[in-house]
Each structure stands twice: as structure tokens, then as C-alpha cells.
Structure 1
Amino acid sequence: MINITIFVFCVIYVSKALQMIKGTLTLVEPKTKKSNRSVAVHENVMEVLKAERKKQIGYRMVLGETYKNNNFVCSRDDGRPMNPDYISKTFPKIKRKLGLEVRFHDLKHTHATMLLKQNVHPKVVQERLGDSSIGITMDTYSYVSPDMQKEAAKKIGNIIK
């Protein structure tokens, strides 16, 4: 789970990770320096995040001083952070409701693969994922289909005519 500092200009700033350490939720530095990043998101995503933030502000107004203002996007009604395991365990219910056939762990892979298939520059994909190197991103997420091989052959053929 990521602690996302406030969003401005459709950019999410990832600065900390939340981990369960010896039974306690603990804010830690991300795995690598590259994991500490800013990620541009679509305005539709921002609307969902703003709605969640508005809901949290409502809870804070009702609960007053008992509200734990930790600035997490994914939090309980009282402001405490959600356990990352809760999100992983809840995901199967959500995906059934939405008719998705993807595991929670597959979301990062799916995101990367979809971007690469749309010819988004691999360096951009690496930065979005927070991977430590472009090699890791490409080795892990790129997939060369037969159609891609045919397209490459066509392009080189056009160049050497």
C-alpha cells in the first residue's frame, strides 16, 4: 500500500510504503529510490480520489479529535490506514462484482503491459511502476507477440527497400 501525498495537477506523489512489521502497520521508505516518484493519472482517477478525500473530510468532521488524520488515500472511516492485507483480501469480491478476471498481483503487470502495447515509451512505464531499472521493466512486463514481430519485419523491410 502506498501513502499518497496530496494530489495536484493530476499527479500522485508516492513517498512512503505501508508495511505490516511485527504486527504493527509501519510507514517505511519505498523499496528503491525509483519507487519514490510522481505518477501522472487521468482526471477520472483524480475524481475518484477527490471523492474519497471528501468522504474522509466528512468522517473527520463527525469524529472530531478521535479521527486519525494520517493523510492516507485508503483509510478506515476513523482515518487509520487500511491494512494492506485487507485490500488484497477484499479484491476478489470487488473483481467478481466488476466481472474482472485478474488477480490483485496482476494489476501492475496489466498496467505495464497495456502501456507498452500502446507504444508508451518503456522509460515512462518504468518510472510509473517505480522499477529500479528499465531492464527489470522490460524483462518482467514486455511481451513480444507474433504480430509485433511481423510489424517489425514490415518496418525494416520498408527501410531497406
Structure 2
Amino acid sequence: VFEMYYVELATGLRRGELLGLKWEDLDFEHENLRVKRQIARINGEIVEAPLKTKNAYRTLPLAEDTIAVLKQQKKKVGSSHWVFPSPTGGPISPDSVLHMLHRVLKRAGLPRVRFHDLRHTFATLALQNGVDVKTVSGMLGHFSAGFTLDTYAHVTTAAQKEAARTMEKVLMAAL
């Protein structure tokens, strides 16, 4: 499951979006992936479903490391249409992904987290490392940067404090 969690942390996709990825959605030449569908459990059945909002339909750039991980995944799954297929060849159940995550965390001696917390980790790390909020918002498929700011205000406050310290250095050097 390394590849699945790596891609999640590298892209911040929603769980259903990650599970809905098909190889046709990946463009290794142009280094991107298109988010076009999600996998959901509806009336007890695992189904392909449309995304919840028009902003959720998006194209995300991929870094070379993520492409390498995806190429490794392609070798593992062979002819499956799904990037992360279930053992039976269809899409993985969203519930199964959470149970797998909990098993991995338990073996590693780490606390249980929700799958959605991996998405939060992506956003927090991106913002803490200087990616602007508009870019992060677009990558997450949020309706507005304002929503992203509201959700990650604690991160942007820390970034603002760091910006104040940076400006202090600039101004003090000029005195």
C-alpha cells in the first residue's frame, strides 16, 4: 500500500478521488493526473460516482518522485484499469483503505488517524513550505482560497509570523 499512501500525501486527493483514478487519467509525458471520478459506497455497493462539485474536476501536476512511484504501481497491477485495484480487480472499497491505513499505523506504532488527515497533511506541509494558498486551494479542489484559508488558518498564521521575522531581518539590515 506504500504507493497509494505516497500518492495521497503527494497530491492531497480526497479518498474517493484517489480510489477513482484509472491509468487513462495519468499523463506521464506531461507529468499530470486528471481527477474525473470518485469511488463511493452507495446503498452498500462500491460504485463509480461523479465528483461533488465542478471545482473537484481538475488536473494536478506530478513531481518526478510521484511519477516514479506510479510507474512502480503500474508494474504491480499489470493490466488493471484502476491505479489502485482491489484484489478482485475492481475499485477498492473506501472502507478497506481506512482499515489498511489503521493496520499500517498500528504496525508502525503510530496513532490512528482518519484517511482525510492525510489530505490535511498535504495541505499543511504545502502551506508551511511556502506554497501559496491559491495554489493549494486549487490542488485540493476547493471552491475558494477563502475556504482553504479558513480551514488552515493555523498554518497561515505561522507563515505570517515567519514573514514578519523575515521582514524584520530585511529592515534591520538596512538600518
Shift of residue 84, structure 1, vs aligned partner: 0.8
Q: Give the aligned CA root-mean-square deviation in angstroms.
A: 2.5
2:161 paired with 1:149: yes
Change (3 A) 1:7 1:79: farther
Runs of 5+ unmatched residues, structure 2: 1-15
- Report the TM-score, using the length of structure 2 for normalisation: 0.73
Q: Cα deviation per residue 1:50-108 (whole Å; 9 max; x = unaligned)?
A: 22222221xx4xxxxxxxx5x22111233211101100111012223455556222111
> Which stretch shifts more, 76-85 or 147-156?
147-156
Q: Distance in 2 between matches of 1:154 and 1:43?
A: 31
Larger Rg: 1
Compare relative contact order (CA 8 Å, sep 6+) and give the higher one, 1 or 2: 2
- Report the TM-score, using the length of structure 1 for normalisation: 0.79
Of 41, 47, 67, 1:26 maps to: 47
Runs of 5+ unmatched residues, structure 1: 61-68
2:11 paired with 1:6: no
Aligned residues: 148
Q: Percent identity?
A: 28
Whichever structure has more strand as a proportion of its residues is 1
> Which stretch shifts more, 4-13 or 24-33?
4-13
Change (3 A) 1:152 1:92: same
Question: Contact (CA 8 Å) 1:19, 1:25: kept in 2 or not?
Answer: yes
Q: Distance in 1 between matches of 2:71 and 2:162?
A: 44
Question: Contact (CA 8 Å) 1:37, 1:130: kept in 2 or not?
Answer: yes
User: Partner of 1:96 in structure 2?
Assistant: 106
